Amino acid sequence: MLRHQSNPTDKFPSDRTDIPMNLGILTCPTIPETAPSHCLLCGSPAKQVLRNCFDTRFGIAETFDIHVCSRCELHQTSPRPSPEVLRDYYEKYYNFSGESGTTYTSRRERFLKSKLYTLWLLMDGDVSFHARRGQGRLLDYGCNEGRGLMRYQANGYEAEGLELNPRAAQSARSLGFKVWVDTLDQVHPAQPYNVIVLSNVLEHALDPRQMLTQARSLLSEKGELWISCPNYRSLWRLVFGAYWINWHVPFHVAHFSLDNLRSILAETGFKIEFVQQATPALWLTQSLMAALFAKRGNPTWQLRSAPLVILFMLLFRGILFPILWFSNRRGRGDCLVLRARKA
Ligand SMILES: [Zn+2]
């Protein structure tokens, strides 16, 4: 069961919706509050709204707080890791598994190529833009081992990837794709891209403004940026509190709403052309499993149990679909999905 308790610090100080921040909560009173921080987007003071979030996936022992900016309401993980510390976390915990040739991976490949997957995307939300057809040059930032690249190629695009993990990049290259193992500022394509995909990427950036500016410089005139990222105004954040899977500390540095995402896109020279919200059944499943099983300092193995995850996903999608539909329509979905064009 989720534990609920009220906490006077758990409020949006300037949230126009007056929604309490954290209904489900796990706190550890021996850990002091982190010092007030400054917003990584606008530099205004930010203060704590959630204490002692811990990594619910890999078993990182440290805890983190969530701070909210008094001006732009960007939520951010605090303390903010330095680039060096963050790199260490990625290397230690975020390693590419390299699983291939197993029954599970071959079934997954078959599913991803099937019409059933296209139907699933229609129902569940296409947060990776796997159903969008078109043409032109496309760069998938964080392409991992290239499953997305195969979809983009099948949908008509000339797809390239960017992947900082060399093993994952090599795996994508073995499928025949060009893959950059660089940061965006080191990417120098022969021709600009027509599309850059930042699917669940921007929230990882220590400097989201810089990432968007660099992406813009790589796009053709009227090029498109496709972005998906968690929505901190999600209904499910209220339900799961500190266990909401999308806090994902310390890897998620910034936590966006549509408002502050809209601002930063306008500021960096983009015009939003399409916005939608989605609540993937997988994300709900992961939040529930984190709430039920995660213990600080221990990896949550249940998140990697394919039968368990699939069972819960089908249950959520089957039973909760009216609530999911309604929360998405009301701006309370788990994921923001948008397309913006270079202005
Ligand atoms: Zn701010």
Calculate ∠ Cα 20-276-117, nearest 5°.
115
Ligand 1 midpoint to CA 70 (Å): 7
- Using the predicted structure, report yes or no on whether residue 85 has a pLDDT greater than 70: yes
Ligand 1 midpoint to CA 123 (Å): 34
Residue 93 pLDDT: 86
Ligand 1 midpoint to CA 29 (Å): 28
Ligand 1 midpoint to CA 75 (Å): 8
Ligand 1 midpoint to CA 54 (Å): 23
Q: What's the chain's Rg over C-alpha atoms?
A: 19
Residue 98 pLDDT: 59
Calculate ∠ Cα 238-53-84, nearest 5°.
130
In sequence order, which ranges of the chain are alpha helices (DSSP H)? 83-93, 103-113, 115-124, 147-154, 166-173, 208-217, 235-240, 258-267, 281-293, 306-319, 321-329
Over pLDDT 90: what percentage of the chain?
71
* Distance, C-alpha 51 to centroid of its chain: 21
Ligand 1 midpoint to CA 212 (Å): 16
> From CA 157, how far away is CA 204, in angstroms rounded?
26
Average pLDDT over residues 57-80: 94
100 confidence band (pLDDT: 50, 70, 90): low
Ligand 1 midpoint to CA 41 (Å): 5
Which residue carries 């007056």 as its tokens? 18
Residue 9 pLDDT: 31
Ligand 1 midpoint to CA 35 (Å): 16
Ligand 1 midpoint to CA 169 (Å): 34
Contact residues for 1 (Cβ-Cβ < 8 A; gap 6+): none
Ligand 1 midpoint to CA 199 (Å): 23
Ligand 1 midpoint to CA 320 (Å): 34
Tokens representing 77 are 């993980």
Ligand 1 midpoint to CA 151 (Å): 36
Ligand 1 midpoint to CA 337 (Å): 21
Ligand 1 midpoint to CA 107 (Å): 44
Ligand 1 midpoint to CA 200 (Å): 20
- Name the percent of the chain in helix, strand, coil, to the closest 5: 35, 25, 40
In this structure, what are the phi and psi dihedrals at residue 274, rounded to the nearest 5 degrees?
-155, 135
Ligand 1 midpoint to CA 43 (Å): 6
35 confidence band (pLDDT: 50, 70, 90): low
Ligand 1 midpoint to CA 76 (Å): 10
Ligand 1 midpoint to CA 95 (Å): 32
- Using the predicted structure, report yes or no on whether residue 210 has a pLDDT greater than 70: yes
Average pLDDT over residues 11-39: 42
* Distance, C-alpha 179 to centroid of its chain: 21
Angle between helices 208-217 and 258-267 (to 10 degrees): 50
DSSP letter string, 101-124 = SSHHHHHHHHHHHSHHHHHHHHHH
CA distances to 48, 161, 175, 265, 284 from 180, rounded to whole Å, are: 38, 6, 14, 24, 32
DSSP helix/strand/coil, 140: strand
Residue 132 pLDDT: 95
Ligand 1 midpoint to CA 256 (Å): 11
- Using the predicted structure, report yes or no on whether residue 339 has a pLDDT greater than 50: yes
The bridge status of strand 75-78 relative to strand 193-199 is: unpaired
> From CA 156, how far away is CA 164, in angstroms rounded?
25
Average pLDDT over residues 81-86: 90
